[in-house]
Amino acid sequence: MTSISPFKSLESAIKALDGRINETKKLVESHKSSLGEITDEEAAESRNRFNSMIEFPSTESVKALTPRDTGIIRLRNTERELERLTETAGMELIAPNGNFVMLPRGERLVAPAGFHPDEQVFVKPSSAAIVSKLPNSSNMDCYDFTR
């Protein structure tokens, strides 16, 4: 099992995200280049064959998928990934870096697309406090990133 470690800084996390966006853009272009022109009708047919295979798994439904179908599906999935990563790049993020994050009760930290929660990069909550020392009492929930 691969170990995932926290980013040391928000800057390094953003740099890694930018790198992933660039890699994904290259992958999209590579898929497009190898597939050539794809009509809307062809994309819809590929999607229908794929959905049929997922909904009713059988040898026939798997055989019905052509290599071009899987290429078209792979392209669409990669385009979706790029959309999600680009959306993350536009978000305000936090990296607690060995501190505590205090949130109003019931709120949670959310790791955005492109980041695993163990990397400790999160969407900045609307109201939160990042502190190095906890107060004696509080009516807020606390996430501990000091370990």
Amino acid 118: pLDDT: 93
Span between the terminal Cα atoms of the chain, in Å:
21
Distance between CA atoms of 143 and 121, rounded to whole angstroms? 13
* pTM (global) more than 0.75: yes
What are 12-23's pLDDT values in tens digits?
A: 999 999 999 999
Any alpha helices (H) in the chain, and if so which ranges?
10-35, 40-55, 59-64, 67-89
What are 100-139's pLDDT values in tens digits?
A: 999 999 899 999 999 999 999 999 998 888 999 988 888 8
What are 64-81's pLDDT values in tens digits?
A: 788 999 999 999 999 999
